[in-house]
Amino acid sequence: MLDQVEHKLEARPAQKGGPHLRIDALSKSFGDTRAVDSVGLSIAKGEFVTLLGDSGCGKTTLLRMIAGFTAPDTGRIWRQDIDVTYMPPAARRMGFVFQSYALFPTKTAAQNIAFAPRMAGKRRAEVDQRVRQLATLVEIDQLLDRYPHELSGGQQQRVALARALAAEPEILLLDEPMSALDARIRAKLRTELRGLVDRLGMTALYVTHDQEEALALSDRVAVMRAGRIEQVGTPGEIYHRPRSRFVAEFIGTSNLLAGTVEAGGLRINDALWSVNTHGARMGDLITVLVRPEHLSIAAVAGADTMTGTVISATFLGATRRLTVRCDNGLHLLVEEPSTAATGNRIGEGRIHLRPDHAHVVPLDREASW
């Protein structure tokens, strides 16, 4: 049942039409650094895709190549069926919001937003009208006469977004557009941004190293690692079915446990867990991911439980995360709903843990684990 639901979610982007943006085997090196290493990705019209990865993994370089600010060493970029690989940036019909605000410091907010339509030779009255419309859309109507240094970070961010939208791009490329904002404004602005992109029917490629932001915003997430895309999928797929140990550890909090496949399930030290081992053969040594919220606290010990004591507890609001030192030497992270009545379980005696769900994690390409 769950498989069917997830499958439908995965199929959704394809139903929006053929690829609007397609990149194929794109590579870029700077000296000995292979910043982007043979990356391929297709994005449907109207889809919102996020590139997620650690600092230095090649996100900005990839986005700059798509926008036309950096020439690739090899590979191709298509907008629908048009090869734009060597087109100048202005001809690509793509809007770019940079990692730094990059507003023109000597122009007012209105003049910044008006820049692209002016350059395109639009009439003054038409440009003025568009500036006012966009200012309303991003809620900076009252700030149009101010210079960038007279605006807060969040306000500058909105001006930068309006400036990118003023060129009426088909595809919006956003490089960490909220990196300088505090958590509350970020959350508000990202919801607004997603709504705006949907309303205008644009296709968006968004860069962030904030996984919460990526999971909250995107139709699909591409997890990058050292210049390559490690996995592309819906947020649910990336979180629940990581295809490598790297993705399993990178997204969310994880218990990664090695065990041997037996008739009754998976043998992990002294416990026999009845988890779905997905076609692994008897005697195979496999690794499974058990998210902290997928471990339950059992009332009594059994053959399928691990027993231990709580050594730390973190209050997270709706839930409480516990670290349990098990008798068999393993440390497990457990997340349980928090209530006002329950304590943090430290010093409350022994607890028994049983998995509700486990996902078999394939070995990484590199055998270094």
Ligand X SMILES: Nc1ncnc2c1ncn2[C@@H]1O[C@H](COP(=O)(O)OP(=O)(O)OP(=O)(O)O)[C@@H](O)[C@H]1O
Which positions touch Mg ion (CB under 5 A)? 60
**Of the two residues 66 and 351, which places its CB atom closer to ligand X in the complex?**
66
Beta carbon of residue 2, minimum distance to ligand X (angstroms, whole number): 33
CB nearer ligand X, residue 63 or residue 286: 63
Q: Is residue 320 a contact point for ligand X (CB under 6 A)?
A: no
Give the nearest distance from C-beta 54 to ligand X in angstroms. Answer: 7
The site partner of 315 among Mg ion, ligand X, none (C-beta below 5 to 8 Å per kind) is: none
| SS3 state of residue 115 | helix
Q: Report the half-sphere exposure of 233 (CA within 13 A, side-chain side).
A: 17
Do 52 and 214 touch, CB atoms closer than 8 A? yes
Q: Which residues in 36-95 contact ligand X (CB under 6 A)?
A: 53, 55-61
CB 108 within 8 A of CB 146: yes
Residue 103 C-alpha from the chain's centroid: 26
Least separation in angstroms between CB 175 and ligand X: 7
Instruction: Kindly determine how many residues on this chain lie close enough to bind ligand X according to the rule CB under 6 A.
Output: 13
Looking at beta carbons only, is 60 or 305 nearer to Mg ion? 60
Give least dist CB 176 to Mg ion, A. 6
CA distances from 166 to 10, 22, 109, 133 (A): 32, 24, 12, 10
Decide whether 53 or 252 has the Cβ nearer to ligand X: 53
Compute the least distance from the CB of residue 339 to ligand X, in Å: 39
| Binding flag, residue 209, ligand X (CB under 6 A) | yes
Report the residue number, 212 or 293, with the smaller CB distance to ligand X. 212
The partner in contact with residue 209, picked from Mg ion, ligand X, none with C-beta cut-offs of 5 to 8 angstroms by kind, is: ligand X
Work out whether 352 is an interface residue with ligand X (CB under 6 A).
Answer: no
Beta strands in 145-279 (DSSP E): 171-175, 203-208, 220-225, 228-233, 255-262, 265-268, 271-273
Closer to ligand X by Cβ: residue 52 or 326: 52
- Phi-psi region at 80: left, alpha or beta (left = phi > 0; alpha = psi -120 to 50): left
Q: How far is the CB of 58 from ligand X (least distance, A)?
A: 4
Helix (H, G, I), strand (E, B) or coil at 60: helix
* Residues 6+ positions from 158 with CB-CB distance below 8 Å: 138, 139, 140, 189
Whether 214 contacts 208, CB under 8 Å: yes
Two structure tokens written together for 155: 């306000």
Q: State the residues that interact with ligand X by CB under 6 A.
A: 30, 33, 35, 53, 55-61, 99, 209
